[in-house]
């Protein structure tokens, strides 16, 4: 095939993909409109489960947004050339994912029309308000970072911009974890460990998302990822997955040590129905053990398809983990009278049930559509396909 | 004697200023003597609309679970009627609910109403991003319906599950109690009644039913019935371990 014919097909494919993603976004917006006009009564959310599926999608994207920037940070802050070549794509994905996540979060508000209120009224004691500032700042810093990477005149500032973005993203994920960590009354939360746990979750989800997008882009352009790069990235991914596993164990072991937390742990680990299944099958088996085994396997670990498959499993496991944390954490009843059995018309003392509705799912999917649409368009306009022209770099520089 | 001394114009004016002083002094003394009465009268009869709530007052309730009858739902019905809500679906607002608790160690049961505990350090106010959740100077915790964005973080933070989210369009609202789809709400301690010198509808209903299990009053006034009982009886703050210093206290649990 000559290059002109390839370009023609590629252009058509681009427009088809952009149209498809645009449709997903439109469906998501339609779902949000439906939820807003009818009220949250059309969702599965209740006065017991107040944050539902949209929060799972939104938190995943926000956490992954800060994590996906790690690729750029390793390049700029720690000076690794393999990652430096991927820094623009990494920064772009960070902005795209954050935009997708925040859109979902905003459209799930009871009053999304009051966005301007959220941007003009701040209660600085609220970690939520702090997050609004951190998210806005993240957009600005990462945009500046991209600018320093693209404009030769300001390239000298790239390292500083990268460093600022790295510090900022740590603060951002700390604050995201603290949204839950600061909830003193709920047994699933109220723990300082959630902040570092969310940071390590972001490393894992972010890199997994990066590998998926990168694989897709290489396949799209008919390129093959260098095996050395693949090996480095999958080793790093395995390390992050292992670290999330470690934090998960510490979180549950700490709870198991406190007698007052036993009932909650029994719920999540043994008899919590869907949450127990999602924990063991979703988070632990699909999201942790299987991808770890594949990534560390001597032959599967260097096969680009199986690395891609592992990254997809890690993303699925991430969703399962957030579902257990966010919805499972609310499903377990508040202990208002510790040591007492409680019953009421407001479902005190009872396990709360949640049946996610289609509009919620479509809204979440719409957020992913936004992230991918931004990425697809920006990659094409800005030519953010990683350029691996590092063969002249000494072998010593190619460390993980 | 000085009394017989002719009075110069100067001494006359001195005398008159002394008389004035005594007069003012007497008025001040009288003022001091009746001020508490006036204050009480003021509190009992509400305050003028332009007057701000005062931190001199801390409104609270004392609930005697010994007098609260199992199966009696009068406080809940009265609250619903007053504030315009009903229903007990999972998406329906419940500003107050009857909770039946049973001590698993000795099998003892109690029935009590549970609502916003009007904390001194309310977690809902801490977490609210826009400041819509706020505490009035007189201790009543409220939601400003104009700046609530419906993020529901306060519902996640409340240890008492006291807040509800309005899941659908509302009809036939009480003009005194504006509510709206997409906003969070909770017991207002019937602030509209309290500001007019009344007491919450639940407390009235409980008295009307002859139970008198809900005592409303000013926790800051040492002479109020509620303060005297809180000072002398063993009362409980629910989840007292959280150190929130709640305005709603319980007796008998």
Query: End-to-end CA distance of chain A, in Å?
Result: 38
Joined together, the tokens standing for residue A303 give: 């096969």
Residue to mutate among A110, A119, A175, A263, with most B CBs inside 10 A, is A110
Residue to mutate among A184, A262, A359, with most B CBs inside 10 A, is A184
pLDDT at B186: 97
A115 to chain B: which residues are within 8 Å by CB? 149
A122 to chain B: which residues are within 8 Å by CB? 129-131
pLDDT at B88: 87
Q: Is residue A153 part of a domain?
A: yes
Domain that holds residue A66: 14-182+359-383
Cβ distance of B150 and A126 shorter than 8 Å: no
pLDDT at A5: 79
Other C-beta atoms closer than 10 Å to the C-beta of B52 total: 10
The SS3 assignment for B94 reads coil
Give the angle B169-B174-B178 at the CA atoms, nearest 5°: 60
Q: Is residue A398 part of a domain?
A: no
| Nearest neighbour of A334 by CB, restricted to B150, B161, B169 | B161
Give me the helix-helix angle, A53-68 and A87-107, nearest 10°.
160
Average pLDDT of every residue of chain A:
93
Strand order in the sheet with B214-218: B214-218, B59-64, B248-251, B235-236
| Nearest neighbour of A341 by CB, restricted to B76, B102, B114 | B102
Contact A360/A51 with Cβ under 8 angstroms?
Answer: no
Q: Can you give the three-state secondary structure of chain A, one letter per residue? A: CCHHHHHHHHHHHHHHHHHHHHHHHHHHHHHHHHHHHHCHHHCCCCCCCCCCHHHHHHHHHHHHHHHHCHHHHHHHCCCCHHHHCCHHHHHHHHHHHHHHHHHHHHHCCCCHHHHHHHHHCCCCCCHHHHHHHHHHHHHHHHHHHHHHHHCHHHHHHHHHHHHHHHHHHHHHHHHHHHHHHCCCCCCCCCCCCHHHHHHHHHHHHHHHHHHHHHHHHHHHCCCCCCHHHHHHHHHHHHHHHHHHHHHHHHHHHHHHHCHHHHHHHHHHHHHCCHHHHHHHHHHHHHHHHHHHHHHHCCCHHHCHHHHHHHHHHHHHHHHHHHHHHHHHHHHCCCCCCCCEEEEECCCCCCCCCCCCCHHHHHHHHHHHHHHHHHHHHHHHHHCCCCCCCCCCCCHHHCCC
Domain count across chain A: 2
Do A119 and A245 lie in one domain? The reply is no
pLDDT digits (tens, 9 = 90+) for A42-68: 999 999 999 999 999 999 999 999 999
Going by C-alpha positions, the residue among A44, A140, A103, A146 that lies closest to residue A368 is A103
Do A104 and A240 lie in one domain? The reply is no
* Tens of pLDDT, residue by residue, chain B (253 residues): 333 334 444 545 555 555 565 556 556 555 555 554 444 444 445 677 778 888 899 999 999 999 999 999 999 999 999 999 888 899 999 999 999 999 988 999 999 999 999 999 999 999 999 999 999 999 999 999 999 999 999 999 999 999 999 999 998 788 889 899 999 999 999 999 999 999 999 999 999 999 999 999 999 999 999 999 999 999 999 999 999 999 999 999 8
pLDDT at B29: 57
A338 to chain B: which residues are within 8 Å by CB? 239
Q: Compute the nearest-CA separation of B141 from chain A (Å).
A: 16
Contact A165/A134 with Cβ under 8 angstroms?
Answer: no
Do A31 and A116 lie in one domain? The reply is yes
Q: Is residue A276 part of a domain?
A: yes
Q: Is residue A330 part of a domain?
A: yes
Residue for token pair 């509510």: B179
Residue to mutate among B167, B168, B250, B252, with most A CBs inside 10 A, is B167
pLDDT at B27: 60
Strand B109-115, strand B96-103: pairing? antiparallel
pLDDT at A366: 98
Do A254 and A116 lie in one domain? The reply is no
d(CA B201, CA B198): 9
Do A72 and A170 lie in one domain? The reply is yes
Contact A231/A301 with Cβ under 8 angstroms?
Answer: yes
| Nearest neighbour of B129 by CB, restricted to A132, A183, A340 | A132
d(CA B122, CA A245): 35
| Nearest neighbour of A128 by CB, restricted to B105, B151, B167 | B151
Contact A90/A72 with Cβ under 8 angstroms?
Answer: yes
pLDDT at A320: 98
d(CA B39, CA B174): 30
The SS3 assignment for B147 reads coil
Do A47 and A123 lie in one domain? The reply is yes
Cα–Cα distance list, B20 to B9, B13, B17, B208 (Å): 16, 10, 5, 53
A39 to chain B: which residues are within 8 Å by CB? 166-169, 181-182
Joined together, the tokens standing for residue A264 give: 């909650």
Cβ distance of A340 and B182 shorter than 8 Å: no
Do A365 and A321 lie in one domain? The reply is no
Do A163 and A266 lie in one domain? The reply is no
Strand B59-64, strand B248-251: pairing? parallel
Cβ distance of B149 and A109 shorter than 8 Å: yes
Query: End-to-end CA distance of chain B, in Å?
Result: 75
d(CA A260, CA B17): 74
Residue for token pair 């199992």: B70
Q: Is residue A7 part of a domain?
A: no
Half-sphere exposure of B57 (CA within 13 A, CB side): 23
Cβ distance of A336 and B166 shorter than 8 Å: no
Nearest residue in chain B measured CA to CA from A190: B157
Q: Is residue A139 part of a domain?
A: yes
Do A280 and A320 lie in one domain? The reply is yes
Other C-beta atoms closer than 10 Å to the C-beta of A188 total: 24
Residues whose CB is less than 8 angstroms from the CB of residue A214 and which lie 6 or more positions away in sequence, other chains included: A86, A89, A225, A386
Length of chain B, in residues: 253
B158 to chain A: which residues are within 8 Å by CB? 185
Other C-beta atoms closer than 10 Å to the C-beta of A139 total: 15
Cβ distance of A342 and B101 shorter than 8 Å: yes
A183 to chain B: which residues are within 8 Å by CB? 123, 127, 156-157
pLDDT at B1: 34
Do A36 and A166 lie in one domain? The reply is yes
- Classify domain B59-251 by CATH architecture: 2-Layer Sandwich (3.30)
Cβ distance of A343 and B100 shorter than 8 Å: yes
Q: Compute the nearest-CA separation of A31 from chain B (Å).
A: 16
Residue to mutate among B72, B113, B150, with most A CBs inside 10 A, is B150
Do A325 and A364 lie in one domain? The reply is no
Do A246 and A121 lie in one domain? The reply is no
What parts of chain A have a pLDDT lower than 70?
Answer: 1-2, 388-400
Q: Is residue A397 part of a domain?
A: no
pLDDT at B2: 38
| Nearest neighbour of B91 by CB, restricted to A41, A184, A336 | A41
Domain range list for chain B? 2-44, 59-251
Contact A58/A363 with Cβ under 8 angstroms?
Answer: no
pLDDT at A386: 78
Q: Compute the nearest-CA separation of A252 from chain B (Å).
A: 21
């Amino acid at each position: 095939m000559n290059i002109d014919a390839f370009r023609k097909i590629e252009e058509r494919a681009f427009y088809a993909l952009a149209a498809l993603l645009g449709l997903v976004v439109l469906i998501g917006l339609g779902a949000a409109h439906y939820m807003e006009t009818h009220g949250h009564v059309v969702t599965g959310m209740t006065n017991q489960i107040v944050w539902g599926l949209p929060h799972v999608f939104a938190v995943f994207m926000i956490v992954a947004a800060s994590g996906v920037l790690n690729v750029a940070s390793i390049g700029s802050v720690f000076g690794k050339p393999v990652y430096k070549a991927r820094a623009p794509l990494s920064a772009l994905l960070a902005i795209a994912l954050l935009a997708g996540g925040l859109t979902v979060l905003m459209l799930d508000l009871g009053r999304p029309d009051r966005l301007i209120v959220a941007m003009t009224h701040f209660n600085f004691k609220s970690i939520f308000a702090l997050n609004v500032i951190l998210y806005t700042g993240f957009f600005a810093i990462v945009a500046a970072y991209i600018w320093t990477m693209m404009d030769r005149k300001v390239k000298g500032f790239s390292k500083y911009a990268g460093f600022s973005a790295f510090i900022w993203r740590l603060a951002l994920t700390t604050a995201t974890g603290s949204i839950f960590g600061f909830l003193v009354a709920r047994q699933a939360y109220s723990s300082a460990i959630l902040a570092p746990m969310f940071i390590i979750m972001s490393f894992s989800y972010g890199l997994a998302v990066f590998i998926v997008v990168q694989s897709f882009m290489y396949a799209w352009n008919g390129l093959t990822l260098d095996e050395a790069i693949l090996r480095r990235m999958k080793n790093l991914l395995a390390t992050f997955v292992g670290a999330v596993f470690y934090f998960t164990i510490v979180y549950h072991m700490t709870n198991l040590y406190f007698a007052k937390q036993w009932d909650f742990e029994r719920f999540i680990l043994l008899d919590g129905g869907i949450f127990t299944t999602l924990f063991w099958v979703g988070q632990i088996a699909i999201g942790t053990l299987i991808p770890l085994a594949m990534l560390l396997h001597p032959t599967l670990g260097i096969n680009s398809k199986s690395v891609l498959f592992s990254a997809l499993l890690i993303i699925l496991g991430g969703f399962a983990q957030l579902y257990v944390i966010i919805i499972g954490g609310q499903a377990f009843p508040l202990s208002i009278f510790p040591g007492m059995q409680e019953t009421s018309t407001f479902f005190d003392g009872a396990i709360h049930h949640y049946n996610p509705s289609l509009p919620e799912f479509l809204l979440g999917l719409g957020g992913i559509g936004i992230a991918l649409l931004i990425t697809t368009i920006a990659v094409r306009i800005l030519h953010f396909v990683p350029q691996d022209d590092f063969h002249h770099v000494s072998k010593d520089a190619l460390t993980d | 004697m000085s009394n017989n001394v002719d009075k110069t114009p100067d001494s006359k004016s001195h005398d008159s200023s002394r008389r004035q002083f005594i007069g003012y002094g007497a008025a001040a003394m009288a003022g001091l003597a009746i001020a508490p009465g006036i204050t009480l009268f003021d509190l009992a009869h509400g305050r003028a609309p332009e007057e701000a709530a005062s931190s001199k007052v801390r409104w609270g309730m004392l609930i005697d679970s010994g007098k609260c009858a199992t199966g009696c739902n009068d406080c809940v019905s009265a609250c619903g009627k007053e504030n315009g809500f009903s229903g007990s679906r999972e998406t329906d607002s419940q500003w107050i609910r009857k909770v039946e608790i049973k001590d698993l160690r000795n099998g003892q049961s109690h029935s009590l109403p549970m609502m916003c505990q009007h904390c001194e350090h309310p977690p809902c106010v801490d977490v609210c991003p826009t400041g819509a959740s706020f505490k009035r100077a007189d201790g009543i915790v409220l939601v400003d319906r104009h700046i609530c964005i419906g993020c529901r973080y306060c519902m996640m933070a409340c240890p008492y599950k006291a807040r509800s989210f309005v899941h659908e369009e509302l009809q036939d609202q009480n003009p005194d109690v504006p509510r709206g789809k997409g906003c969070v709400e909770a017991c207002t301690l019937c602030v509209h009644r309290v500001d007019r010198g009344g007491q919450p509808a639940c407390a009235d209903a409980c008295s009307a039913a002859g139970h008198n299990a809900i005592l409303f009053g000013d926790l800051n006034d040492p002479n109020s019935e509620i303060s005297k009982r809180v000072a002398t009886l063993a009362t409980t703050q629910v989840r007292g371990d959280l150190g929130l210093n709640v305005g709603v206290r319980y007796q008998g649990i």
